[in-house]
RNA sequence: GCCUGGGUGGCGGAACGGGUAGACGCAAGGGACUUAAAAUCCCUCGGGGUUCGCCCCGUGCCGGUUCGAGUCCGGCCCCAGGCACCA
């Protein structure tokens, strides 16, 4: 036993022992409750950074804690290994993306091992492994057969820098989520997953995710963006296909005085054709197409439009409504056409003012009468219908229902629900991703790759030049293939899948990472899933977390899993900041975990990250704070070593505390109070910062008690009990130092196998307690009384307190309140 | 504009059924030990006043409920994140 605290030495020692004893490898055991804790797996970018360390430390504490609580814990780790950075790095350095990726994985795995995380390493997986993505290809084929994977031509987001398309979720404020380049729309034929088929369920099930942060739920609700309203058909005055609009305000239909079309609407140019307005409309649309539509610019654009020269008819009033093309109407939402109700929609109001279009009030607010002539702004709230035929006099809400039903009956429209959510665009014109298992045949069209031929392996003999589009398209050995249907000449799909596809189901595969008979081993997956606790950054609120929910539902419908939702509880941990900003190479404020481990050890690094802030909040890195954590571990070490020679042979205290004299009894009470406090902080809230603070207090008290009772033989069992409790409580957070001290106490099994300590009820009971006395709500005195005094007795004791007597000066109090046996408030 | 968080010492943060505001840690100041420094240990540490007993003020701002409000209610200000011409 060494007496100096040398963190690196003992951390290596224990990491080796844990691995040898295979302590963290979990098997299915129906006799024990299971607990699946998972942290979002990393992209193998090269090095583990402090954000990872924080994320994985939180998860590791949970895993180790739950094991001590008797759970059969699954805690796996793997690699989100496909992605563009590998290609870029490869091109810049002449490496192959595969070797770059696998080298990074090897290095980062080493880092994670040095950090001492309790992962079930045999379950490790990398998504770029053909043994992983082959199952994804199989799922793709199943989805294709069911119409959940399909190809269509559509205007899609193109990032010129990444030279690939992006899903809507991956465009943030008009910029590429990965490289911040402005994205523009391009008409391309692309692969989509039909996530909109699950829009309703994805929205509804959010209500059952009680243990998800409210803001994530809100972000997903907003993203899905359900609105209930009606589709209404407006016949053209001159005949032809009517114009279909979507509105949530069918109660304002009688006030619709003109029609607005999106510039991309197919009717925009078609209608104008042959009218005197044709040139003007063409001009307007051309101008609009050239317009920079990135965020910010868009907000500044004034509402403009142009008359098409044609009219449609209001289906209920029969009025002629001029049809305009307007720059604020979105083709992507609804039907790309809007019935304009200037009195009750601000945009339409402004548009009507500008072009001198009629305004007609059809909704009256309570207690006021609006007049079209004097309207200064649209009245957008609900109210009572006026001038609306048989619906006049009804309130907006019931009128909406009635009007939708009426339109449906009259064949002029129907009740309808629209979503903001679009289908998930998953094809990427890149090399380093999972190939889409589709073959094109002149004769047979699109054919899926035969299941026995899976995986469609990503060829490695590729040269990445960065020019000429998708690298796979330039590889005849890959593209040329015989059609599985007719045996004729076929051509492989050269797009690869969005890497978010891999991360949408990896948490399922961990349950049976070695399974070779199919996508998932149903038995094992049913045992482990859902994930009980998922931990990761907020940045995935509507990306990964939405896709993963979608995939889980698809897998369920493919009869691969039985769960509806993948993640029971979600913790979104805050960022690690330095000097008030997110750590970044470009800002020069990066703290390398390796340096911290070298200088102070893993335990200190973990301790600081847990102590500096509660997990969901951002954490400001502080070198001094790290030293504070290190100091604390030294104090623990020194305390233990001062006592060890005498504690080795002492047994832990066994009694109820009744036989202990004042100081010792109080110290023992503190021990049990700390057990209670730490258990609550970890179990209910994951507030490791206050849990650590409580143990710090206990250790401070321990130093005092060790001094006060240095010579007392009967103190030794109490001290032994206290030290054991401290080691047990701290183990999940700082596992190495506690294992070392546990061993020094004479144990030869890992602390991980010891049960979590239990606070003893008798030890918590206090003989005397301090009661706070307030006068008119202000603290004026404190008295010590025997435990178990009744409220009237307490009141009496308080009134007899000399300080109270002084304040009372003989008066009788107006009122005395006794609160929870802890506080007396005297009102005078 | 809408939605979700959040405003507490010099700093990170506690106060989880309304009941001792500032636990724990960092920094700072003073002292002990040392030839000296580091390390370690002890004391002080929201502001103001003080007869050193205590007293007054204080949790973004204004008001309310209550014996009692950081905590509840109403109104406002500021910060962060998300969405944003969504019909």
pLDDT digit string, tens, across residues A376-399: 888 888 889 999 999 999 999 899
Q: Looking at residue A210, what is its pLDDT?
A: 86
Please state the domain extents for chain A.
7-20+32-127+503-595, 135-194+423-499, 226-419, 622-763, 768-827
Residue A655 pLDDT grade (very low, low, confident, very high; cuts 50, 70, 90): confident
Query: Smallest CA–C1' separation from A638: which nucleotide?
Result: B40
Closest amino acid to nucleotide B40 (CA–C1'): A635
Provide the 3-class DSSP secondary structure of residue A219.
helix
Residue A474 pLDDT grade (very low, low, confident, very high; cuts 50, 70, 90): confident
> What is the average per-residue pLDDT within A299-317?
87
Rounded, the Å distance between the CA of A197 and C1' of B31 is 74
Q: Which chain B positions come under 7 Å from a protein C-beta?
A: 3-5, 11-17, 19-21, 23-27, 39-42, 55-56, 67-69, 81-87
Chain A span 765-804 residues with beta carbon within 7 Å of strand B: 770, 772, 774, 776-780, 782
| pLDDT > 60? residue A306 | yes
Closest amino acid to nucleotide B20 (CA–C1'): A772
Number of C-alpha atoms within 13 angstroms, CB side, residue A809?
A: 2
What CATH superfamily is the domain A622-763? Answer: Isoleucyl-tRNA Synthetase; Domain 1 (1.10.730.10)
The residues, ordered by sequence, that sit 6+ positions from A360 with a Cβ below 8 Å of its Cβ are A254, A255, A257, A342, A343, A372, A387
Q: Which of A672, A666, A665 is nearest to A760 (CA)?
A: A672
> What is the average per-residue pLDDT within A497-505?
96
> What is the average per-residue pLDDT within A40-45?
95
pLDDT digit string, tens, across residues A108-120: 999 999 999 999 9
Rounded, the Å distance between the CA of A216 and C1' of B76 is 28
| pLDDT > 60? residue A297 | no
Phi first, then psi: what are they for A827, rounded to 5°? -100, 125
| pLDDT > 80? residue A594 | yes
H/E stretch holding A284 reads: helix A278-290
Query: Smallest CA–C1' separation from A692: which nucleotide?
Result: B24
| pLDDT > 60? residue A494 | yes
| pLDDT > 80? residue A77 | yes
The residues, ordered by sequence, that sit 6+ positions from A1 with a Cβ below 8 Å of its Cβ are A644, A744
Q: Is the CB of A305 under 7 A from strand B?
A: no
Chain A span 168-187 residues with beta carbon within 7 Å of strand B: 172-173
Q: Looking at residue A296, what is its pLDDT?
A: 45
- At the topology level, CATH places domain A7-20+32-127+503-595 in Rossmann fold (3.40.50)
Q: Looking at residue A464, what is its pLDDT?
A: 78
Query: What is the DSSP code string of A170-211?
Result: GEETTEETTT-PBPEEEEEEEEEE-GGGGHHHHHHGGGG-TB
What the block records as the tokens of A664 is 């010792």
Rounded, the Å distance between the CA of A817 and C1' of B18 is 14
| pLDDT > 50? residue A704 | yes
> What is the average per-residue pLDDT within A137-149?
97
Residue A62 pLDDT grade (very low, low, confident, very high; cuts 50, 70, 90): very high
Q: Is the CB of A819 under 7 A from strand B?
A: yes
- At the topology level, CATH places domain A768-827 in Ubiquitin-like (UB roll) (3.10.20)
Q: Token pair 């404190």 is at which residue?
A: A782
Closest amino acid to nucleotide B14 (CA–C1'): A690
Q: Looking at residue A299, what is its pLDDT?
A: 55
Q: Looking at residue A188, what is its pLDDT?
A: 87
Q: Looking at residue A2, what is its pLDDT?
A: 47
Rounded, the Å distance between the CA of A214 and C1' of B2 is 16
Query: Smallest CA–C1' separation from A340: which nucleotide?
Result: B87
Chain A span 594-623 residues with beta carbon within 7 Å of strand B: 611-614, 617-620, 622
Q: Looking at residue A764, what is its pLDDT?
A: 85
For residue A432, give Cα distances in angstroms to A179, A266, A472, A597: 17, 37, 10, 33
- Contact (Cβ atoms closer than 8 angstroms) between residue A670 and residue A696: no
> What is the average per-residue pLDDT within A728-750?
96
Mean of the per-residue pLDDT values of chain A: 91
Which of A565-569, A606-610, A781-785 has the lowest average pLDDT? A781-785
Q: Is the CB of A301 under 7 A from strand B?
A: yes
Chain A span 143-172 residues with beta carbon within 7 Å of strand B: 172
Chain A span 325-384 residues with beta carbon within 7 Å of strand B: 327-334, 336, 338-339, 345, 347
Which of A354-363, A427-436, A691-700, A789-798 has the lowest average pLDDT? A789-798
Rounded, the Å distance between the CA of A407 and C1' of B81 is 42
Q: Looking at residue A94, what is its pLDDT?
A: 85
Chain A span 196-235 residues with beta carbon within 7 Å of strand B: 213-215, 218-219, 222-223, 225, 227, 229
Q: DSSP class of residue A264?
A: T
pLDDT digit string, tens, across residues A437-464: 999 999 999 999 999 998 999 999 887 7
> What is the average per-residue pLDDT within A564-575?
93
The residues, ordered by sequence, that sit 6+ positions from A791 with a Cβ below 8 Å of its Cβ are A818, A821
Q: Looking at residue A471, what is its pLDDT?
A: 83
Rounded, the Å distance between the CA of A734 and C1' of B43 is 31
| pLDDT > 80? residue A174 | no
Please state, in angstroms and rounded to a whole number, the distance separating the CA atoms of residues A402 and A410: 12
| pLDDT > 90? residue A606 | yes
Which of A318-322, A429-433, A514-518, A651-655 has the lowest average pLDDT? A651-655
Sign of the CA dihedral A58, A63, A68, A69? positive
> What is the average per-residue pLDDT within A555-569?
96
Q: Is the CB of A700 under 7 A from strand B?
A: yes
Please state, in angstroms and rounded to a whole number, the distance separating the CA atoms of residues A747 and A739: 9
- Contact (Cβ atoms closer than 8 angstroms) between residue A143 and residue A193: yes
Overall CATH class of domain A226-419: alpha beta
Please state, in angstroms and rounded to a whole number, the distance separating the CA atoms of residues A133 and A535: 24
Q: Is the CB of A581 under 7 A from strand B?
A: no
Q: Is the CB of A628 under 7 A from strand B?
A: yes
Chain A span 729-768 residues with beta carbon within 7 Å of strand B: none
Query: Smallest CA–C1' separation from A345: which nucleotide?
Result: B87
Which of A7-21, A520-534, A787-801 has the lowest average pLDDT? A787-801
Q: Looking at residue A295, what is its pLDDT?
A: 47
> What is the average per-residue pLDDT within A146-167?
88
Rounded, the Å distance between the CA of A597 and C1' of B74 is 52
pLDDT digit string, tens, across residues A428-444: 988 999 999 999 999 99
Chain A span 13-72 residues with beta carbon within 7 Å of strand B: none
Query: Smallest CA–C1' separation from A611: which nucleotide?
Result: B25
Rounded, the Å distance between the CA of A643 and C1' of B39 is 21
For residue A124, give Cα distances in angstroms to A105, A287, A442, A662: 11, 54, 42, 54
What the block records as the tokens of A161 is 């820098």
- Contact (Cβ atoms closer than 8 angstroms) between residue A699 and residue A719: no
């Amino acid at each position: 036993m060494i007496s100096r605290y040398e963190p690196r030495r003992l951390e290596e020692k224990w990491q080796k022992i844990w691995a040898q004893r295979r302590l963290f490898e979990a098997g299915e055991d129906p006799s024990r409750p299971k607990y699946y804790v998972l942290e979002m797996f990393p992209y193998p970018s090269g090095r583990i950074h402090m954000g990872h360390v924080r994320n994985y430390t939180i998860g590791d504490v949970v895993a180790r804690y739950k094991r001590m609580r008797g759970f059969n814990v699954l805690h796996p780790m793997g690699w989100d290994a496909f992605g563009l950075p590998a290609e870029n790095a490869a091109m810049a350095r002449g490496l192959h993306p595969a070797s770059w990726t696998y080298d990074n994985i090897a290095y980062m795995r080493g880092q994670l091992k040095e950090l001492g995380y309790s992962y079930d390493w045999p379950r490790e997986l990398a998504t770029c492994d053909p043994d992983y993505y082959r199952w994804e290809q199989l799922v793709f084929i199943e989805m294709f057969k069911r119409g959940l994977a399909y190809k269509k031509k559509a205007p899609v987001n193109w990032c010129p820098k990444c030279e690939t398309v992006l899903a809507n979720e991956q465009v943030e404020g008009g910029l590429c989520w990965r490289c911040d380049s402005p994205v523009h729309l391009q008409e391309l034929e692309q692969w989509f997953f039909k996530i909109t088929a699950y829009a309703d369920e994805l929205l509804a099930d959010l209500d059952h995710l009680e243990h998800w942060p409210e803001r994530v739920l809100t972000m997903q609700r907003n993203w899905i963006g359900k609105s209930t309203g009606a589709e209404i058909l407006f016949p053209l005055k001159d005949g032809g296909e009517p114009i279909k609009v979507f509105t949530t305000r069918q109660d304002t239909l009688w006030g619709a005085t003109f029609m607005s079309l999106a510039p991309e609407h197919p009717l925009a140019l078609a209608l104008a054709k042959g009218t005197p307005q044709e040139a003007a409309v063409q001009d307007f649309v051309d101008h609009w197409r050239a317009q920079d539509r990135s965020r910010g610019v868009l907000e500044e654009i004034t509402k403009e439009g142009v008359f098409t020269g044609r009219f449609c008819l209001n289906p209920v009033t029969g009025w002629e409504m001029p049809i305009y093309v307007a720059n604020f109407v979105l083709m992507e939402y609804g039907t790309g056409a809007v019935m304009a109700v200037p009195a009750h929609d601000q945009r339409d109001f402004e548009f009507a003012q500008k072009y001198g279009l009629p305004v007609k009030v059809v909704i009256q607010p309570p207690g006021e009468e609006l007049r079209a002539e004097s309207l200064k702004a649209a009245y957008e709230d609900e109210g009572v219908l006026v001038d609306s035929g048989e619906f006049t006099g009804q309130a907006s809400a019931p009128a909406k229902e009635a009007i939708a039903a009426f339109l449906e009956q009259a064949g002029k429209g129907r009740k309808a629900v629209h979503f903001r959510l679009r289908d998930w665009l998953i094809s990427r014109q890149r090399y380093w991703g999972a190939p889409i298992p589709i073959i094109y045949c002149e004769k047979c069209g699109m054919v899926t790759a035969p299941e026995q031929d899976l995986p469609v392996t990503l060829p490695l003999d590729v040269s990445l030049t960065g020019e000429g589009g998708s690298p796979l398209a330039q590889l005849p050995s890959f593209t040329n293939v015989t059609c599985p249907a007719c045996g004729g000449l076929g051509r492989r799909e050269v797009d690869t899948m969005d890497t978010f596809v891999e991360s949408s189901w990896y948490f399922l595969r961990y349950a049976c990472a070695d399974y070779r008979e199919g996508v998932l081993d149903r038995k094992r997956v049913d045992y482990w899933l859902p994930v009980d606790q998922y931990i990761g950054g907020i940045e995935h609120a509507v990306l990964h977390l939405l896709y993963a929910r979608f995939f889980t539902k698809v897998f369920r419908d493919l009869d691969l899993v039985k769960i509806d939702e993948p993640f029971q509880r979600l913790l979104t941990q805050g960022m690690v900041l330095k000097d008030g900003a997110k750590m970044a190479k470009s800002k020069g404020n990066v703290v390398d975990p390796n340096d911290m481990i070298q200088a102070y050890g893993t335990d200190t690094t973990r301790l600081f990250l847990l102590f500096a802030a509660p997990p969901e909040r951002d954490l400001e890195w502080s070198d001094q704070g790290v030293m504070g954590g290190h100091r604390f571990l030294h104090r623990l070490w020194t305390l233990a070593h001062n006592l060890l020679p005498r504690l080795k042979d002492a047994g832990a205290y066994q009694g109820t505390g009744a036989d202990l004299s004042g100081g010792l009894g109080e110290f023992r009470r503190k021990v049990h109070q700390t057990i209670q406090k730490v258990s609550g902080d970890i179990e209910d809230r994951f507030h490791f910062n206050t849990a650590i603070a409580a143990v710090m207090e206990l250790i401070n008290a321990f130093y005092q008690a060790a001094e006060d009772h240095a010579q007392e033989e009967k103190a030794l069992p109490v001290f032994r009990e206290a030290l054991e409790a401290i080691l047990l409580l701290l183990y999940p957070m700082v596992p190495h130092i506690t294992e070392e001290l546990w061993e020094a106490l004479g144990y030869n099994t890992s602390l991980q196998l010891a049960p979590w300590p239990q606070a003893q009820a008798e030890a918590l009971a206090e003989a005397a307690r301090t009661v706070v006395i307030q006068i008119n709500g202000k603290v004026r005195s404190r008295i010590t009384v025997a435990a178990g005094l009744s409220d009237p007795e307490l009141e009496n004791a308080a009134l007899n307190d000399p300080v109270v007597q002084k304040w009372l000066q003989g008066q009788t109090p107006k009122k005395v309140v006794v609160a929870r046996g802890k506080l007396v408030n005297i009102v005078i």
